[in-house]
């Protein structure tokens, strides 16, 4: 029984000493090394992502510009070719028609 107890105590003390050694090794040396490597890898990743984003933006920019240009053209065409153009020309034509009727001397007919 005495031997089992001494083996058990030796195992616990050995485990605690190993745990303490690993903890202090990590705190004193390993944490700084890992933090530096992590910072370096983060900077490399940032740089690669930034370069990739710039390359993709340069590839997509002409397409984006042409799509925006086409969108503006469509909006202007639909605005100018539709109801707005008709609403602008109808009063103008009635003004010109009444002016010509006045100059020619014809009586005004009711507009429809």
Q: What are phi and psi of 105, to 5 degrees?
A: 100, 15
Task: Give the whole-angstrom CA distance, residue 112 versus residue 105.
Answer: 20
Query: What's the pTM?
Result: 0.42
Q: Is residue 20 part of a domain?
A: yes
108 is a domain residue: no
Segments of the chain with pLDDT less than 50: 112
Taken as a whole, the chain contains a residue count of 112
Residue 109, classed as helix, strand or coil, is coil
Q: Is residue 86 part of a domain?
A: no
Residue 80: its pLDDT value, please? 63
State residue 22's pLDDT score.
Answer: 93
Distance CA 72, CA 80 (A): 12
Residue 109 maps to a domain: no
Q: Is residue 50 part of a domain?
A: yes
Residue 38 belongs to domain spanning: 2-81
Structural domain includes residue 44: yes
Burial of 70 (C-beta count, 10 Å sphere; 0-12/13-18/19+):
exposed
pLDDT at 1: 82
Give the total number of structural domains in the chain.
Answer: 1
Domain contains 56: yes
The pLDDT of residue 105 is 65
């Amino acid at each position: 029984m005495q031997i089992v107890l001494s083996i058990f105590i030796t195992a616990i003390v050995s485990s605690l000493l190993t745990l303490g050694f690993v903890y202090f090794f990590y705190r004193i040396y390993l944490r700084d090394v890992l933090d530096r490597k992590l910072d370096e890898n983060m900077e490399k990743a940032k740089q690669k992502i930034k370069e990739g984003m710039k390359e993709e933006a340069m590839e997509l920019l002409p397409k984006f510009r042409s799509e925006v240009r086409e969108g503006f053209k469509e909006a202007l065409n639909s605005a100018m070719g539709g109801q707005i153009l008709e609403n602008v020309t109808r009063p103008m034509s009635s003004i010109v028609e009444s002016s010509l009727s006045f100059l020619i001397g014809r009586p005004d007919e009711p507009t429809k």
